[in-house]
């Protein structure tokens, strides 16, 4: 999961935008179009299985004339997105644990409110500790780390099984399920937007949970038979996330309390309070511990993909201090890139102290560059290189142009949703002053500003890097042409 607003708070944002009917219907639409996007990326990955992947894909998709410009821009976009991801997951984990204070009614000095600096300091310290643990796991030897990966898969499956078995049974014995009519037909407009756009805003949740499947390509150079395995990993991860995510969403729609009760919850991670309502305090603690361990493992795995991406970009000289960041250990591990992840993550977590809202919107805005990259690559494949990459093991053939167009349009729509205001002006009579809604409104208003600023800054840095980095230092025209010929299966081509 991306962050606290990617599934948990994102789930509540989805309920505000259209209600349950919008969430499940938008999820189906998102699954279809994100699977198409994954197929487009898998096609390129198979032809160009390189670490760093997505910015190289953008460069080669643009063709020789514009490759360097779009390569630099996407490199900065994906760095922005993935560098914030670890910090976001650590704060999510801290919120899970800290929400137990609300469940057990702990009298914390100043209260467990985001406007309490002492509470924010506690969340910050806890998040930093979790970041240290997640980073430390990445310093383990590769053979030992494989055990961590297997443990992570086991914990996530245990969490999923408990959610689909234990949680529903407990709900039926406590406050009861929502009716099928409520889940599949009820609508809600908590955004103040026109009805059509209110419904479309639910894509903020559904698309947010179905991004990041390009991660399998970031470790392509460490994957055996990468043109098949890494590319297949992109598509299968999108399929698995879509199916399991949809099943989980339907489950939660049936198992969550009515909307009035839901928006009155006070914990920073409302699902912890929902578990307490259904499972009791003991069951809530069990689910929280499992979620915490799973999130730490998830963060560690995300750092693996992100550090390889940062290493590859630094190796190509795009980032400041690239010569140091791009170094590897004798066994081939990019430890310096992992260290950069720690420094950046620790620094960004410090923004919790002055403003929880600023931190949350900063993390969520990291998803905007990822969606923009998906859109741009699809558009470049459609307009610049529609007949290339024929050597791909997953070449799309006659479907390629419809897929490129579809993926570009859908991701453009999602991008517009992510930078759109979420709450529109409402009068005092219809305004609901419940705590969770106030928090969501604060987040969404600052999110629009932060998303635009972060995305704009990353784009400007990409353009400046393109202008000031000599062509002979990164992606000279001859190498771009040579890579395109290799991707087309012309192994006899000689750039000279």
| pLDDT surpassing 50 at residue 427 | no
Residue that wins the pLDDT comparison between 275 and 491: 275
In a domain, 489, yes or no: no
Mean pLDDT comparison of 85-94, 116-125, 265-274, highest-scoring range? 116-125
| pLDDT surpassing 60 at residue 445 | no
| pLDDT surpassing 50 at residue 32 | yes
In a domain, 493, yes or no: no
**12 — pLDDT class (breaks 50, 70, 90):** confident
Residue that wins the pLDDT comparison between 306 and 145: 306
Provide DSSP, 61-127.
HTHHHHHHHHHHHHHHHHHHHHHHHHHHHHHHHHHHHHHHHHHTT---TT-S-TT-HHHHHHHHHHH
**435 — pLDDT class (breaks 50, 70, 90):** very low
105-119, 384-398, 401-415: range with lowest mean pLDDT:
105-119
How is residue 179 annotated by DSSP?
P
Alpha-carbon distance 377 to 8, whole Å? 29
Mean pLDDT comparison of 269-278, 297-306, 448-457, highest-scoring range? 269-278
Percent of the chain clearing pLDDT 70 (strictly above): 86
- Give me the pLDDT at residue 423, please: 72
**39-92 pLDDT per residue, tens:** 999 999 888 876 557 888 999 899 888 889 999 999 888 888 877 778 888 888
- Give me the pLDDT at residue 454, please: 74
| pLDDT surpassing 50 at residue 446 | no
Number of domains in the chain: 1
Mean pLDDT comparison of 15-19, 23-27, 342-346, highest-scoring range? 23-27
Is the full-model pTM beyond 0.95? no
Domain that holds residue 236: 8-469
How confident is the model over 471-480, as a mean pLDDT?
A: 74
In a domain, 483, yes or no: no
| C-alpha to C-alpha distances, 103 to 4, 206, 285, nearest whole angstrom | 18, 28, 9
**326-353 pLDDT per residue, tens:** 888 887 788 899 999 899 889 888 877 8
- Give me the pLDDT at residue 450, please: 58
Residue that wins the pLDDT comparison between 52 and 370: 370
In a domain, 491, yes or no: no
280: left (phi over 0), alpha (psi -120 to 50) or beta: left
**392-423 pLDDT per residue, tens:** 888 999 999 999 999 999 999 999 888 877 77
- Give me the pLDDT at residue 491, please: 53
What is the dihedral sign for C-alpha 51, 55, 61, 67? negative
- Give me the pLDDT at residue 131, please: 94
SS3 189: strand
| pLDDT surpassing 90 at residue 281 | yes
99-108, 232-241, 364-373, 476-485: range with lowest mean pLDDT:
476-485
- Give me the pLDDT at residue 431, please: 38
CATH number for position 178: 1.20.1740.10
- Give me the pLDDT at residue 356, please: 54
How confident is the model over 212-217, as a mean pLDDT?
A: 80
What average pLDDT does the chain have?
82
- Give me the pLDDT at residue 220, please: 62
How confident is the model over 437-442, as a mean pLDDT?
A: 50
Percent of the chain clearing pLDDT 90 (strictly above): 31
In a domain, 476, yes or no: no
Alpha-carbon distance 485 to 385, whole Å? 12
In a domain, 444, yes or no: yes
- Sorted by sequence, the CB contacts under 8 Å of residue 174 that are 6+ apart come out as 277, 278
- Give me the pLDDT at residue 254, please: 95
- Give me the pLDDT at residue 287, please: 92
How confident is the model over 465-484, as a mean pLDDT?
A: 77
In a domain, 3, yes or no: no
| Range 398-402 contact pairs with CB under 8 angstroms and sequence separation of 24 or more | 400/43
Alpha-carbon distance 490 to 495, whole Å? 11
**8 — pLDDT class (breaks 50, 70, 90):** low
Residue holding tokens 């996007």?
37
Alpha-carbon distance 204 to 206, whole Å? 6
| pLDDT surpassing 70 at residue 5 | no
405-409, 479-483, 487-491: range with lowest mean pLDDT:
487-491
Mean pLDDT comparison of 25-39, 65-79, 434-448, highest-scoring range? 25-39
**11 — pLDDT class (breaks 50, 70, 90):** confident
In a domain, 149, yes or no: yes
Alpha-carbon distance 91 to 4, whole Å? 7
Other beta carbons within 10 angstroms of residue 46's beta carbon come to 25
| pLDDT surpassing 70 at residue 14 | yes
């Amino acid at each position: 999961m991306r962050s606290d607003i990617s599934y948990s708070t994102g789930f509540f944002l989805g309920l505000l935008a259209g209600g349950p009917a919008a969430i499940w219907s938008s999820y189906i639409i998102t699954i279809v179009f994100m699977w198409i996007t994954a197929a487009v990326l898998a096609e390129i990955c198979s032809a160009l299985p390189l670490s760093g992947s997505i910015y190289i894909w953008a460069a080669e998709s643009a063709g020789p004339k514009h490759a360097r410009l779009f390569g630099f821009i996407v490199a900065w976009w994906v760095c922005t997105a993935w560098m914030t991801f670890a910090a976001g997951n650590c704060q999510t984990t801290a919120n899970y644990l800290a929400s137990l204070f609300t469940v057990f009614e702990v009298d914390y000095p100043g209260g467990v409110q985001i406007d309490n600096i002492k509470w924010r300091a506690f969340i910050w310290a806890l998040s930093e500790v979790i970041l240290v643990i997640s980073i430390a796991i990445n310093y383990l030897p590769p053979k030992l780390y494989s055990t961590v990966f297997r443990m992570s898969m086991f914990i996530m499956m245990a969490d999923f099984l408990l959610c689909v078995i234990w949680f529903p049974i407990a709900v039926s014995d406590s406050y009861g399920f929502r009716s099928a009519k409520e889940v599949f037909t009820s609508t809600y407009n908590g955004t103040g937007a026109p009805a059509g756009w209110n419904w479309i805003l639910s894509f903020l949740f559904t698309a947010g949970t179905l991004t990041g499947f390009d991660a399998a390509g970031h470790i392509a150079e460490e994957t055996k038979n990468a043109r098949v395995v890494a590319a297949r990993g992109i598509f299968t991860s999108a399929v698995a996330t879509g199916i399991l995510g949809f099943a989980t969403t339907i489950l939660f729609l049936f198992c969550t309390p009515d909307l009035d009760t839901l928006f009155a919850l006070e914990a920073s991670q409302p699902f912890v309070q929902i578990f307490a309502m259904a499972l009791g305090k003991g069951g809530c603690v069990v689910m929280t511990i499992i979620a915490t361990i799973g999130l730490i493992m998830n963060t560690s795995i995300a750092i693996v993909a992100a550090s390889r991406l940062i290493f590859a970009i630094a190796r190509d000289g795009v980032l400041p201090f690239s010569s140091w960041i791009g170094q590897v250990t004798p066994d081939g591990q990019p430890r310096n890139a992992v260290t950069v992840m720690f420094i950046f993550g620790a620094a960004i977590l410090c923004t919790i102290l002055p403003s929880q809202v600023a931190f949350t919107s900063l993390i969520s805005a990291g998803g905007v560059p990822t969606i923009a990259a998906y859109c741009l690559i699809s558009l470049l494949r459609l307009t610049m290189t529609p007949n290339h990459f024929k050597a791909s093991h997953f070449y799309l053939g006659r479907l390629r142009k419809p897929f490129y167009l579809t993926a570009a349009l859908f991701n453009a729509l999602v991008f517009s949703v992510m930078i759109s205001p979420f709450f529109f002006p409402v009068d005092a009579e219809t305004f609901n002053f419940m705590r969770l809604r106030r928090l969501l409104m604060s987040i969404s208003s600052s999110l629009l500003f932060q998303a635009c600023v972060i995305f704009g800054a990353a784009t400007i840095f990409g353009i400046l890097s393109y202008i000031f980095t000599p062509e002979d230092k990164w992606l000279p025209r001859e190498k771009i042409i040579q890579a395109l010929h290799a991707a087309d299966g012309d192994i006899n081509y000689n750039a000279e």
